[in-house]
Amino acid sequence: DAMVIQNPRYQVTQFGKPVTLSCSQTLNHNVMYWYQQKSSQAPKLLFHYYDKDFNNEADTPDNFQSRRPNTSFCFLDIRSPGLGDAAMYLCATSSGTGGGTGELFFGEGSRLTVL
């Protein structure tokens, strides 16, 4: 009964070769987030969508972009991955202020390796 599904689970790319990670949700949540988590560190918020409104964190590099074509799907595009972008990328959803518990639901993550 996976509610937040990320693909692929593991992605290996070459330095500078664009990568797209996908996330889908069956919860009909308003808000979708992308977090970057490096080993032994806290998840770092990159950006989030509240419905169609995109909200970028001030310190998110321009190399990272996102798309949300509909309620269910959200994509993370890394235009030119560097070695420092190797990390686990976590997608999460929440109901936002639209009701519900407000709980953040995470996907299993996509682990990116940059060679």
CB–CB of 48/64 below 8 Å?
no
- State the nearest-atom distance from the C-beta of 42 to another protein, in Å: 4
d(CA 68, CA 43): 21
Return the residues of window 19-48 that contact another protein according to CB under 8 A: 31, 33, 40-45, 48
d(CA 53, CA 56): 10
Nearer to another protein, 33 or 64 (CB): 33
Q: Are strands 31-37 and 44-50 parallel, antiparallel or unpaired?
A: antiparallel
Asked if residue 89 binds another protein (CB under 8 A), the reply is: no
With CB under 8 A as the contact rule, which of the stretches 12-20, 69-77, 78-86, 87-95 interacts with another protein? 87-95
Q: Are strands 73-78 and 105-106 parallel, antiparallel or unpaired?
A: unpaired
Asked if residue 95 binds another protein (CB under 8 A), the reply is: yes
d(CA 42, CA 69): 28
How many residues make contact with another protein (CB under 8 A)?
Answer: 26
Binding site for another protein (CB under 8 A): 31, 33, 40-45, 48, 50, 55, 57-58, 90, 92, 94-97, 102-104, 106-109
